[in-house]
């Protein structure tokens, strides 16, 4: 069965929309030692060149985009603004590019013969992108036949002059695969550099999981970045297409896989820009919940003062109270031993906040009143209100509910003893 027919049968998996405008690329001739390379004219039209070493070769394709090219909601030059914005950041963050020039970062993605790990999984396409002052350059290294990994990795490592990778789940998959394959041929290719690594998958989970069923890159593109692919071959079909190429040598399907890989790389540039703008408040094109998640991420990474500012901004700017932001701001005040400010916020919340938050807030108030302000009667009152709320709502986990109620009753008994003991003390 031809590749065309196979893809036709799988058309339900393929995204078909209006053709996107692409930049024209100057075509290069494939230099080859023999004239029987299959479908040479198609490879020429694809802009591929051959990289030879020790009588073996891989194919290298380069694509260039103007720095003003629009990819989704952003132009590529916005990435330069994003890197520049990090230079003034005073805290620490896993996506911080402070101290880096935008040309020192490269956006990396691979296509492999399977989704598993180990030496049996082969990378057949290495793609990476670079942002200069004037353009974006996407370079792809293709394995034309099994066993030609030496020229593949030699061509890749001989031209890599960056400091930091940017990937999507690359820490868990792409880069470990590169390390595994490199180990097998390390005596014949340049040493694997110790890159820094920004993995945007984890940032997407933190900020977007509340609004996306899946944070696959293609979903983030559509729902967050404003980019829709055209006639795209899904990544899970890439292994089948590669094996079909090995059998028939017709590169028709491989060109589609290359386009898929290229779009992944371009979307990484846009996604890094978007995440940076959200984190650093470069723009406010986001929902209140997204901004709250940004605050939580900043708080989690130790940037508490900046997180407090974000929580306060959310509270001040929203007509409706943002109880999650209020609660996290109160927790910050409590950690900083500003209990009065924490209590002020919690007392505003516990009557009207969602039940899940009310439960937490009532318990926090009981703790503060008992241990900090020593207002035992008010602490007991908040416990009683929490007990009533727990009876009104049924916890799906009965055992967990019983444990929680046991701890609450223990607290209430302790408070009652303290109150009675205090009442029995002779007055001075």
Whole-number pLDDT of residue 24: 31
The answer to whether residues 320 and 235 belong to one domain is no
Rg of the Cα trace of the chain?
29
Kindly state the average pLDDT of the residues 353-362: 92
For 72, 166, 296, the CA distances from 266, given in Å and listed in that order, are 10, 11, 28
Helix (H, G, I), strand (E, B) or coil at 310: helix
Domain region containing 155? 3-279
Strands 196-199 and 164-167: parallel
How far apart CA 192 and CA 292 sit, in angstroms, is 39
Query: CB-based burial of residue 273 (10 Å sphere; 0-12 exposed, 13-18 middle, 19+ buried)?
Result: buried
Whole-number pLDDT of residue 397: 78
The answer to whether residues 100 and 166 belong to one domain is yes
Structure confidence by residue, pLDDT tens digits, 100-156: 999 999 999 999 997 655 556 899 999 999 999 999 999 999 999 999 999 999 999
Name the E strands within 164-219: 164-167, 196-199
**How does residue 419 score in pLDDT terms, banded at 50, 70 and 90?**
very high
**Domain end (from 217, 245, 279):** 279
The answer to whether residues 142 and 44 belong to one domain is yes
Structure confidence by residue, pLDDT tens digits, 162-182: 789 999 998 888 888 899 899
Contact 71, 23 (CB under 8 A): no
Helix (H, G, I), strand (E, B) or coil at 25: coil
Chain position carrying tokens 């190429």: 245
Q: What is the CATH number of the domain that holds 48?
A: 3.30.420.10
The answer to whether residues 65 and 175 belong to one domain is yes
Q: What is the CATH number of the domain that holds 345?
A: 1.25.40.10
**Whole-number average pLDDT of the chain:** 87
Structure confidence by residue, pLDDT tens digits, 283-342: 656 666 788 899 999 999 999 999 999 999 888 876 788 899 999 999 999 999 999 999
Whole-number pLDDT of residue 36: 67
pLDDT surpasses 80 at 23 = no
Indicate the number of domains in the chain: 2
The answer to whether residues 247 and 367 belong to one domain is no
How far apart CA 139 and CA 127 sit, in angstroms, is 6
How far apart CA 193 and CA 336 sit, in angstroms, is 42
**How does residue 15 score in pLDDT terms, banded at 50, 70 and 90?**
very low
The answer to whether residues 324 and 255 belong to one domain is no
Mark 283-294 as b/e (b = at least 16 C-beta within 10 Å). Answer: eeebeebbbbbb
């Amino acid at each position: 069965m031809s590749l065309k027919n196979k893809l036709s049968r799988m058309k339900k998996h393929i995204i078909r929309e209006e053709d996107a405008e692409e930049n024209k690329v100057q075509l290069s001739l494939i230099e080859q030692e023999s004239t029987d390379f299959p479908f040479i004219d198609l490879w020429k039209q694809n802009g591929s060149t051959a990289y030879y070493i020790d009588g073996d070769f891989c194919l290298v394709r380069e694509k260039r985009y103007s720095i003003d090219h629009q990819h989704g909601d952003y132009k590529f030059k916005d990435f330069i603004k994003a890197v520049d914005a990090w230079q003034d950041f005073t805290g620490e963050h896993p996506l911080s590019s402070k101290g880096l020039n935008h040309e020192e970062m490269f956006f990396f993605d691979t296509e492999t013969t399977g989704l598993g790990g180990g030496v049996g999984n082969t990378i057949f396409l290495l793609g990476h992108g670079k942002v200069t002052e004037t353009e974006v350059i996407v370079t792809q290294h293709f394995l034309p036949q099994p066993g030609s990994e030496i020229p593949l990795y030699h061509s890749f490592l001989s031209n890599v002059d960056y400091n930091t990778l940017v990937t999507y789940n690359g820490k868990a998959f792409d880069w470990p695969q590169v390390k595994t394959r490199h180990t097998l041929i390390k005596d014949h290719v340049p040493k694997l550099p110790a890159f820094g690594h920004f993995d945007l998958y984890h940032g997407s989970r933190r900020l977007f999981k509340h609004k996306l069923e899946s944070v696959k890159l293609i979903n983030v593109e559509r729902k967050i970045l404003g980019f829709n692919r055209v006639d795209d071959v899904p990544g899970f079909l890439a292994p089948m297409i590669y094996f079909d190429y090995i059998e028939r040598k017709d590169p028709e399907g491989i060109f589609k896989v290359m386009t898929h890989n290229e779009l992944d790389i371009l979307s990484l540039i846009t996604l890094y820009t978007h995440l940076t703008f959200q984190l650093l408040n470069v723009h406010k094109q986001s929902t209140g919940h997204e901004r709250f998640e940004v605050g939580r991420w900043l708080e989690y990474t130790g940037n508490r003062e900046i997180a407090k500012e974000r929580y306060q901004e959310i509270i001040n700017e929203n007509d409706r109270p943002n109880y999650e932001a209020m609660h996290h701001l109160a927790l910050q005040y409590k950690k900083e031993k500003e209990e009065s400010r924490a209590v002020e916020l919690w007392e505003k919340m516990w009557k009207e906040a969602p039940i899940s938050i009310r439960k937490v807030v009532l318990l926090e108030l009981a703790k503060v009143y008992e241990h900090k302000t020593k207002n035992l009667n008010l602490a007991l009152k908040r416990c009683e209100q929490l007990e009533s709320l727990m009876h009104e709502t049924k916890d799906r986990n009965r055992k967990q509910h019983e444990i929680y109620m046991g701890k609450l009753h223990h607290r209430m008994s302790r408070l009652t003893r303290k109150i009675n003991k205090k009442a029995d003390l002779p007055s001075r």
